[in-house]
Structure 1
Amino acid sequence: GGHPEWHIQGDVLPYIDGNCIVTTMDGSAHRIDGTWDLLIAHPPCTYLSNAGARHLWKGHVLNQERYAKGLDAKNFFLKFLNANCPKICVENPVPSRVYELPKYTQIIQPYEYGHPYSKRTCLWLKNLPPLQPTDIMEPVGTWCPSGSYSHKHSIQHKGLFTKDRAKNRSKTFLGIAQAMAQQWGSTKKTPAPAATGNGGMEKN
């Protein structure tokens, strides 16, 4: 976004508990004393999502290789949910039951935040109020659904099915990001800048 001084690039896990030194992409080092104020994490969902559950089975036999990758993804997911941070949000699609993730706090939809699409998104929240809709619209279709879903629908919806579905499906809608910033950023008197990605972090 043209602001390398706001971002770090690399493995986020060494930093999520705070009490660390982070180097932003402009080369500057920053000492973080104590914990972050707010952690918003978007861990990869490739192996955890219910949409990919069909790849877990070969007939009636569990695909052990994919299942093992899913367990690794679950462990990564839980690192964020159990981080040493007073306020946490972890975002992911509806997970496959086989991985037994903790129950999510709420499900949100883009059409509740000014984007006319459906895309069920789960939020796991700690010490944060549920996100409230800001601009409810009538959905015109499903945003970047799975390939098996798209084949069942008419040509009028094909514009929603991009060739690069995984990349587009992983993007956070601006209206949802703004709602998070406005509703959760206001829980402290002093607003804080935020940087989010595969595990976003915010600090005053």
Structure 2
Amino acid sequence: MRGLRVLIGGEYSGTIRDAFIARGHDAMSCDFSATAAPGPHYRGDWADIEGDGWDLAIYHRTCTYMANSGAKHLYRGMKKENGIDEGRFIDMLRDAHAFWLHMQQCPVEFAAWENPVMLGYAQLLVGKPDQTVQPWWFATDHAGPDNVKKATCWWTKGGLPKLKPTGLLDGSTARDEVFQMAPTKDPEERRMARSRFTPGHAAAIADQWGAFVIARKAGRHNSCVSTAAHPDFVTSGRAA
């Protein structure tokens, strides 16, 4: 079977896109920012192109207001005793509802949505993730980019299986780089650095979910060929 057409929404690094391309797939990243690595990239809203016949889509939705790591920002002055910051709470609910709605309306049959651990309030709307993984699950080198801690949640559609660890490490030496990342002059620079995807995780996605979708599509194709070869089965509901 030919390679898949894969859309990576909300990706500017090209990490997952390039993992699929390396395996012979036709992949494109999409983000409002320009791609950081040369390759197929649509600069704009994924809503513009997600209906263009993709076989698989991977989405990275903005987590600013929904991430559990930012729970203190739900309160005025970042103190619970000051009461809820209504504006921030409304922003969180808005993003959570948009996340849920996109999962209901996404036109791609096989799809996955990534986000960090969510606030409980957000999960009431979005629902619990199908799986939570760590980058070090896919690490083979103690000093490599995958040997880090960053709980990553996945919500999936189309029966995509849970990702299986492919690494050789046990997490005991995983670095806590994301949590300890120092503030930057430009908050957006820090946000993008914290959201950068690791290559081992991307490779596992391309290998495992890519193979799953290919197998599903191949199975349907074989079923159609078999049915076409036995027309009496269609008309009578049984083999001749």
Common fold, TM-score beyond 0.5?
yes
8 Å contact 2:75–2:82 — kept in the other structure? yes
**Residue aligning to 1:116:** 147
**Seq. identity, %:** 30
How many residue pairs end up in the alignment? 159
What CA deviation, in whole Å up to 9, does each residue of 1:141-166 have, x standing for no partner? 21311xxxx4xxxxxxxxxx243442
1:73 corresponds to 2:98: no
Instruction: Please state how far the C-alpha of 1:189 moved relative to its aligned partner.
Output: 5.6
Computing the radius of gyration over CA atoms, which structure comes out larger, 1 or 2? 2
CA separation in 2, counterparts of 1:185 and 1:106?
A: 17
SS at match of 1:118: coil
Q: Which structure dedicates a bigger proportion of its chain to strand? A: 1
CA RMSD of aligned residues (A): 2.1
> Which of 1 and 2 has higher RCO (CA within 8 Å, sep 6+)?
1
Counterpart CA distance in 2 for 1:136 and 1:50 is 29
Q: Which residue of 1 aligns with 2:162?
A: 130
Matching residue within 42, 48, 56 for 1:8: 42
- Corresponding position: 1:186 with 2:211: yes
Q: Tell whether 2:198 aligns with 1:173.
A: yes
Distance 1:143 1:79, change over 3 A: farther
What is the alpha-carbon distance in structure 2 between the residues aligned to residue 90 and residue 79 of structure 1? Answer: 12
Q: Which has the higher helix share?
A: 2
Note the residue ranges of structure 1 that are not aligned, 5 or more in a row.
19-31, 151-160, 191-204
Correspondent of 2:177 among 143, 147, 150: 143
Per the TM alignment, residue 169 of structure 1 is displaced from its structure 2 partner at its CA by 1.3
Aligned CA distance change for structure 1 residues 2 and 141 (closer, same or farther; 3 Å)? closer
1:87 is aligned to 110
Deviation at 1:10, TM superposition (A): 0.7
In the TM superposition, residue 72 of structure 1 has moved relative to its aligned partner by: 2.2
> Aligned-pair distance for 1:63?
0.7
What corresponds to 2:71 in structure 1?
53
